[in-house]
Amino acid sequence: MEHARSQISLIVGLGNPGLEYAFTRHNMGFMTVGRLLNKLNNGFESYSRYNSEIFSGRYRGRRLLLQLPQTYMNCSGEAVRRLMAVEELLPENLLVVYDDLDIPFGRLRLRAGGSSGGHRGMESIISELGSESFIRLRVGIGHPGKGGVSDYVLSGFAEEEREKLEKVTDMAAEAVKSVLLRGLSAAMNQYNKWNFDEEMKKEQAQDVEFKESGSAAKNS
């Protein structure tokens, strides 16, 4: 089912509160919504309520809320349900951003609905709302393989990943903006294909082409 652009009123980023978790893989949702807030930059007011940090403002003529639950990941749904009840929002008004083990780092996946995929924060939201019918943006963090998943998601990024992190969260925030501006289908067509490594290869090839064309112009 297509979600009309005007339906999204609440964007939730999932993560754990506290400095010790701030730059861990499990906080990719927090990081993406933080980046989105910087991009919107239209006088959003912040306040703490419903066990959450909430940012309220207007975007393209309509009210928009951004929420960072402070309940710790496994109880995120309690905070989301409380805010949605007060604001009289339905699941189709919601977009949730979170980390995903089954997607490689540097990749994104937008979906209209579906199961939690084993993600505890999503399990909590689905349970509290009694619905899976809301948009979600999964931001890939990769899988540790045979290593412990719990330790992996609560650990910091590898050095190679840290070098890419700003670009990844930037593109994830752009994917959310695209849903707001153009609707889910258009955003999926663009951002579900996005691949950090492939984009870097394209940029490097363009740089080489530009330098070669500049050198040829000088010699002509």
CB 172 within 8 A of CB 35: yes
- CA diameter of the chain: 69
3-state secondary structure labels for all residues of 5-73: HHHCCEEEECCCCCHHHCCEHHHHHHHHHHHHHHHHCCCCEEEEECCEEEEEEEECCEEEEEEEECCCH
Residue 12 backbone dihedrals phi, psi, to 5 degrees: -110, 130
Q: Would you call 26 a catalytic residue per the annotation?
A: yes
Distance CA 180, CA 9 (A): 9
> Which one of 3, 26, 119, 143 is the catalytic residue?
26
**Helix (H) or strand (E) segment spanning residue 100:** strand 94-100
Name the nearest CA neighbour of 191 among 134, 133, 115, 107: 107
Three-state DSSP state, 79: helix
Q: How many residues does the chain have?
A: 220
Alpha carbon of residue 53 to chain centroid? 16
Catalytic residues: 26
